[in-house]
Structure 1
Amino acid sequence: MTRQRPPRSSTSRRTPAKRGGQQLGKPIGKPLGKLRIIGGEFRRRQLPVLDSPGLRPTPDRVRETLFNWLGQQLYGQQVLDLFAGTGALGIEAVSRGASWVDFVERDPQVAAQLSTNLASLNITASAVHVNDVQAYLTRPAKPYTLVFLDPPFHQQLAAPCCSALETSGWLDNEAMIYLETETLLAPKVPANWLLHRETQAGESTARLYQRQAP
């Protein structure tokens, strides 16, 4: 990613709470700031982002890089957005033609705001699941063609999530998997995931893998 970030909590793309669970004196759970959609049908639409500790959208430049990597491959995609947070990646995918997105977010307030934002865009081809990601991946699986995986840093979640995706039937034969980790971590991914693109920004590294059926 393009920003430097401290370790994040296990609920989504966020940093640990500061100052007694508040940031800059603002109460938790109130709308703060905007998520701007950068491409596709909903380009330039702005959506509210909760004032929840460390919660922030994936920056525009990072999303633009990722979706340039994906190019025109988004049409008709079945997408899974894990550690969804604001849902920035999944919403961007829908805007650019994905046919369905499942969002997984553990924090009920964050998930509720995500549902509200989806409704404001009249996005019905989606579902928000209030669940821990590792618990969610133990459910009966269905194959996805694109997965976004941006786990909290420094919690050793990348490897087990990648393993669960591969071994439990969550991936289409040629699925694409976007993985973001702290730069110092060399992520352990299944041997049949081929690195397609990679970029580093600050303390984070973003990788896009192409799966090959074993």
Structure 2
Amino acid sequence: MSAPVRRGAPPGEVRIVGGRWRRSKLPVPPLPGLRPTPDRVRETLFNWLGQHLHGWRCVDAFAGTGALGLEAASRGAVEVVLVERQPQLLRALHEHVQRLQGASDVVRVVGGEALGVLAGLPAARWHLVLLDPPFDGGAALFEAALRQARRLVAADGLAYLEAPQPWDEARLASLGWAVQRHLRAGQVHAHLLRPLDNLQP
């Protein structure tokens, strides 16, 4: 969520769309280029996922404002890991977790580079891995994040990818993924991905 799509100041807050913290507003640090996932895209994503994530374990690998991961926790996830490297955003994430009642029981904020943190998480444990890499990070970053996510998800798990362009099926298949749903909203392409069964090592 920390990738620039346009110049200028980010919105001053994000809003949790559903679940126990529905309508909670979270302040956003004034960092130029910050790109929170729009409410409409988050609402669509959680419509795809079925609204309730009771018992799910989730990783928000490029957390930024934390809107995606906190939305998952609001909707019943039992474990959510928020990964962010930017110090100001890290402070804000810790504040969000303290502000939202019960969040500290299920949400863990981890500082560091996303790929390194993902590499240290247990494999085949997670129901949902959320990937919103910097849009200017290059194809190698996206591919590395998708590979790590494929290692992390359970057999029936899913990944969510935001990107500045759609990812074609052949390219995703080479990384062990198939597209389940796709949405374009302005300059954002949102993909819900499921793991392929025939991934080769």
For residues 43 and 174 of structure 1, the distance between their equivalents in structure 2, rounded to whole angstroms, comes to: 27
* Structure 1 residue 136, shift from structure 2 partner: 1.6
Matched, 1:81 2:60: yes
Q: 2:38 aligns with which of 59, 67, 73?
A: 59
Q: Deviations over 1:4-59 (max 9, x none)?
A: xxxxxxxx4332896xxxx56xxxxxx97111111110111111110112224211
Partner of 1:14: 3
Q: Which amino acid aligns with 2:192?
A: L
Q: 1:163 aligns with which of 143, 147, 152?
A: 147
Q: Which amino acid aligns with 1:204?
A: V
Percent identity, aligned pairs only, is 39
For residues 127 and 178 of structure 2, the distance between their equivalents in structure 1, rounded to whole angstroms, comes to: 15
CA contact (8 A) 1:105 1:131 kept: yes
SS of residue matched to 1:148 = strand
Q: Which amino acid aligns with 1:165?
A: A
Aligned residues: 191
CA contact (8 A) 1:16 1:53 kept: no
Partner of 1:6: none
Query: Are residues 140 and 150 of structure 1, via their aligned partners in 2, closer, same or farther at CA, if it must alter by over 3 Å?
Result: closer
Q: Deviations over 1:52-106 (max 9, x none)?
A: 1222421111111111111145111000001100000011111111111001101
Partner of 2:119: 138
For residues 131 and 117 of structure 2, the distance between their equivalents in structure 1, rounded to whole angstroms, comes to: 13
* Structure 1 residue 196, shift from structure 2 partner: 1.1
Q: What is the root-mean-square deviation in Å for CA atoms of aligned residues?
A: 2.3
CA contact (8 A) 1:104 1:129 kept: yes
Query: Are residues 73 and 172 of structure 1, via their aligned partners in 2, closer, same or farther at CA, if it must alter by over 3 Å?
Result: farther
Matched, 1:129 2:110: yes
Matched, 1:189 2:172: yes
> Which of the pair is proportionally richer in helix?
2
Partner of 1:46: 25
Q: 2:85 aligns with which of 65, 85, 106?
A: 106
Q: 2:74 aligns with which of 95, 113, 118?
A: 95
Q: Which runs of 5+ in 2 are unaligned?
A: none
For residues 194 and 17 of structure 1, the distance between their equivalents in structure 2, rounded to whole angstroms, comes to: 29
Q: Deviations over 1:142-178 (max 9, x none)?
A: 4211011011113221111111222xx4111111100
Q: 1:210 aligns with which of 179, 194, 201?
A: 194
Q: Which amino acid aligns with 2:59?
A: L
The TM-score, its normalising length taken from structure 1, stands at 0.80
SS of residue matched to 1:189 = helix
